[in-house]
Amino acid sequence: MSSTDTIPFGDAPDLRIPMPKSFARTSLPGRLLFGEGALDDLAHELDNARFRRAMLIVSSNQIVLAQRIRDALGSLLALEWTEVRQHVPAELADRCGASAASADVDVLVAIGGGSTIGLGKAVAVRTALPLVVVPTTYSGSEMTPIYGLTTGREKKTARDKAALPQIVIYDPQLLTGLPASIVGTSGLNALAHCAEAIWALNADPITDSLALDGASRLQRYLPMAYGTTDVAARGQVLVAACLAGTALGIVGTSLHHALCHLLGGMLEAPHAETHAILLPYVISYLQPAIPDAIGRLADAMGRQPHRLARDVWSLAQAVGTPPGLRAVGVREEQIEMVTAVALDKNIASPRPLTHEALQALLHAAWAGKDPQPG
């Protein structure tokens, strides 16, 4: 370029480049492996980290996965735990932790969805044993220091660095056996992580890029991952789930997760399905208060901001989300109880909550109708 050439700056308003937001954060530790067949590296990875006796945590209903990981662990397998339940009852974590402590194991290896990973995290916190995770759904839990425990009808979450895996192995092959119904709702769970990370008060430019890339991949690849067992599509959604979990693990949760946890803890509403059902209604409610965040999320997904709630609802329907909370065992008369507890808990929300607003949101999600009719 000669010295007389001018650089096209465009129109005057474009010259006002916004200063990136100031932020301070600690990056999360841990080693990640991603690749088809990456599970075959498990023993090598454990050996490199000088682990000798592994306690395997795998759900009793995962016969095929269990055999694959037993083979991958070989002589490092010292003990197996197969009792896994959603929302991790505290007494289950106690028993599993006691078993780990008495068996002289030096590492926990959890393979499965968020329930299995959640149990591994709770036990890692209790025993201070290092954790290795092989995720087989899109929960993204492996990337967050958050772990949940349920006592009675109350689910409480906590953050603890000891819950973060030392090694995560992502092998998209393992997700080719995941039933479509779980692919769809678990993918929406990942989208909810992206959305909540984008509108989090302490979001920063790094978490934004992670969450926006995650949302973009979910929009692009989730329908194919749902409709086929294509390993590349399921792998792309796995990358999205990792991005989503990483972003959320850094910034933390707000209204959407708080409502899902209440429904899960109080009414045993299934985790991924509840996220998938609720997300469009939460977007619709928050939109007037956070137009910039919704605009960026819509942009990443190639959608119009004013239609985002409806388009997320359509995506959720297209990937097999149950038609409303009524379809996952929630009774309409229970909405009042959930509303009262939610208001009592002073949930952090980017848009203030009122009794009427929360009732309207939950009734709409219960019915499962188009969130922006007309």
What are the phi and psi torsion angles at 255 (to 5°)? -50, -50
118 binds ligand NAD (CB under 6 A): yes
The separation between the first and the last C-alpha atoms of the chain, rounded to the nearest angstrom, is 54
Position among 97, 113, 120, 214 found at the interface with ligand NAD (CB under 6 A): 113
- Taking the complex as a whole, the smallest distance from the CB of residue 101 to ligand NAD amounts, in Å, to 23
112 binds ligand NAD (CB under 6 A): yes
Position among 147, 199, 285, 313 found at the interface with ligand NAD (CB under 6 A): 147
Position among 182, 192, 279, 362 found at the interface with ligand NAD (CB under 6 A): 182
- Taking the complex as a whole, the smallest distance from the CB of residue 208 to ligand NAD amounts, in Å, to 19
Assigned token pair, 277: 């059902």
Q: 141 or 236, CB closer to ligand NAD?
A: 141
Q: 51 or 147, CB closer to ligand NAD?
A: 147
- Taking the complex as a whole, the smallest distance from the CB of residue 58 to ligand NAD amounts, in Å, to 9
Position among 105, 169, 237, 272 found at the interface with ligand NAD (CB under 6 A): 272
Choose the binding region for ligand NAD from 33-41, 115-123, 125-133, 289-297 (rule: CB under 6 A): 115-123
Residues 76-95 interacting with ligand NAD (rule: CB under 6 A): 86-87
Buried (b) or exposed (e) across 308-347, using 16+ Cβ within 10 A?
Answer: bbbbbbebbbebbbbebbeebebeeebbeebbeebeeeeb
Position among 105, 123, 134, 141 found at the interface with ligand NAD (CB under 6 A): 141
Assigned token pair, 121: 């995290």
Residues 183-202 interacting with ligand NAD (rule: CB under 6 A): 186, 189
Q: Please, what is the angle between helix 180-198 and helix 205-227, to 10°?
A: 160
Q: Are 111 and 60 in contact (CB under 8 A)?
A: no
Position among 20, 21, 61, 104 found at the interface with ligand NAD (CB under 6 A): 61
Position among 29, 177, 205, 302 found at the interface with ligand NAD (CB under 6 A): 177
253 binds ligand NAD (CB under 6 A): no
Position among 58, 73, 92, 116 found at the interface with ligand NAD (CB under 6 A): 116
Choose the binding region for ligand NAD from 21-29, 56-64, 195-203, 285-293 (rule: CB under 6 A): 56-64
Q: 66 or 300, CB closer to ligand NAD?
A: 66
- Taking the complex as a whole, the smallest distance from the CB of residue 102 to ligand NAD amounts, in Å, to 26
Position among 256, 271, 296, 303 found at the interface with ligand NAD (CB under 6 A): 271
CA dihedral 164, 178, 35, 144 (to 10 degrees): -20
What sign has the CA pseudo-torsion 72, 77, 81, 87? negative
Position among 51, 127, 144, 298 found at the interface with ligand NAD (CB under 6 A): 144
Q: Round to whole Å and give the CA distance between 142 and 114.
A: 8
Position among 115, 127, 216, 284 found at the interface with ligand NAD (CB under 6 A): 115
Which residues pair with residue 112 across a beta bridge? 135
140 binds ligand NAD (CB under 6 A): yes
Q: Round to whole Å and give the CA distance between 365 and 82.
A: 34
Buried (b) or exposed (e) across 289-303, using 16+ Cβ within 10 A?
Answer: ebeebbebbbebbeb
Give 33's contacts (C-beta < 8 A, 6+ positions apart). Answer: 41, 45, 167, 168, 169, 170
Q: Round to whole Å and give the CA distance between 252 and 185.
A: 21
254 binds ligand NAD (CB under 6 A): no
For the chain, the residue count is 374
Q: Round to whole Å and give the CA distance between 30 and 143.
A: 9
Q: Are 83 and 96 in contact (CB under 8 A)?
A: yes
321 binds ligand NAD (CB under 6 A): no
| Positions that interact with ligand NAD (CB under 6 A) | 59, 61-62, 65, 86-87, 112-116, 118, 136-137, 139-141, 144, 146-148, 174-175, 177-178, 182, 186, 189, 271-272
